[in-house]
């Protein structure tokens, strides 16, 4: 974490809140520290990239290539490279089900029915 790396401590007024929030986060992760540890190990740039993916523009068309979110485009590129969902999930620091959702969304928006069509369309795209 940035505070740990820089030596900056928590403000005393936030100490109890921080401990409570940290416990809630760990509980929501099923007390499995894997995702927590991954999050702690992110650079600031990596954390900001994830944040940006979560807050993409909302003024896109509903179908076609222009309708895909930045994350859907990134997932589509990786599908075109032959990556499978677990590999994509690891590379983009997201869950496998999230990757599956992005693939499904891209297929729906592009009017395609399977990953092979998606990969072929991505390769043909200028």
Half-sphere exposure of 30 (CA within 13 A, CB side): 3
Q: Which domain holds residue 95?
A: 58-126
pLDDT of 37: 76
Over the stretch 24-77, which tens digit does the pLDDT of each residue have? 777 777 767 777 777 778 888 887 777 776 665 567 788 999 999 999 999 999
17 domain residue, yes or no = yes
Q: CA-to-CA distance for 96 and 69, rounded, in angstroms?
A: 18
Query: Do 21 and 73 fall within a single domain?
Result: no
State the average pLDDT for the chain: 83
In this structure, are 62 and 35 located in the same domain? no
Percent of the chain with pLDDT over 90: 49
Give a yes or no: residue 52 inside a domain: no
pLDDT of residue 68: 94
- What is the count of structural domains for the chain? 2
Q: Does 47 map to a domain? A: no
Compute CA distances 46 → 3, 27, 39, 50, 120, whole Å: 16, 24, 9, 6, 29
| pLDDT score at 75 | 97
Same domain, residue pair 64 and 116: yes
Q: What pLDDT does 72 receive?
A: 96
More confident residue, 29 or 118: 118
Residue 96 has pLDDT above 80, yes or no: yes
Domain for residue 100, yes or no?
Answer: yes
């Amino acid at each position: 974490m940035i505070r740990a790396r820089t030596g900056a401590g928590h403000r005393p007024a936030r100490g109890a809140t921080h401990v409570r929030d940290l416990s809630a986060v760990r509980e929501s992760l099923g007390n499995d520290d894997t995702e927590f540890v991954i999050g702690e190990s992110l650079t600031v740039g990596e954390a900001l990239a994830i944040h940006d993916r979560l807050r993409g523009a909302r003024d896109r068309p509903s179908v076609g290539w222009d309708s895909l979110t930045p994350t859907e485009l990134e997932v589509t590129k990786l599908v075109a490279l032959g990556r499978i969902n677990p590999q994509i999930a690891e590379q983009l620091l997201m869950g496998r089900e999230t990757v599956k959702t992005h693939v499904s969304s891209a297929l729906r928006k592009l009017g395609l029915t399977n990953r092979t069509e998606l990969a072929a369309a991505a390769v043909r795209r200028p």
